[in-house]
Structure 1
C-alpha cells in the first residue's frame, strides 16, 4: 500500500521573517523583559514585600514573559507584534504553543551567539527553533 507523502513533506514557508526584523523583535522583547524585571521588583517593594521576595517575583515575571511570550495570542510576543511577525509550528503552520515557546527561548541565555549563528543558514532557524520545530514568519 502506497501512502501520499505530500502532506508529510516539509515545505519552507515563503514568508520567513528577515534577519533585521527578527533582531529588532529580539531587542524589543529583551527591553520588555528588563522592564518587567524592574517594574515588578519596584512594585513589590512599594507594597512592602521584603527585598528578597521582591527579587524573586521580579525575576519570575521577567523569566515567564521571556520564555512563554511567543505563545501569546497570534503567536506573537510584543516585539513580534510590533514588527509584524509570528512564530508557527514548521509542519502544521499553527501558532506556537507554550511548550514550543519554552523550548525555543530556553537556549538563548546559554547559547546566545552560537544560537544566532544558525539563523544565517538557508532555513533561517536558530537552535531554539530547531528544538521547538518552529519558524518565524512575516504576519503582515
Structure 2
C-alpha cells in the first residue's frame, strides 16, 4: 500500500503507473503518426517551440489522475494571452481567440482519438480547461 504525500495525495500502484505510461506512449505515437506535433516540455527550448500536443501523466490515485492531453499554441499567442490576463485586460480579443483555438483543438483531438480506437473525454477539471483525458484503448 502506498502512503499519502504531504499534500494528502496517494500515488498509484506501480502496475497502474506502468499501464498509464504505456497507454500514454501508444496514444502519443498514434497521434504523432496522424500528423500532430508532440510538444516536448523536457526540451530545454520548449518555451520557444512552435507548440503542439503536450502529454501529461498524472500518477496520483484521485479523480484528477490519468492521462491528459493539452494543446499548446505558439509562444506568441501564449505570451499575448498571459500578458492580457496578467494586465487584467479580460476583454482583450486575444483571450477569446486563444480560448476558441483550444476548444477547437480539443474537439479535433477527441475525434482523432476516437478514430484511432481510444476512449477519451473532455476535461471537467477546472485546472485543466480544454484538456482531453484518455481513458483506454478500445479493444
TM-score by length of 1: 0.28
More strand by share: 2
- Comparing both chains, which one has the higher relative contact order based on Cα–Cα distances under 8 Å and sequence gaps of 6 or more? 1
More helix by share: 1
TM-score by length of 2: 0.29
Of structures 1 and 2, the larger Rg is shown by: 1
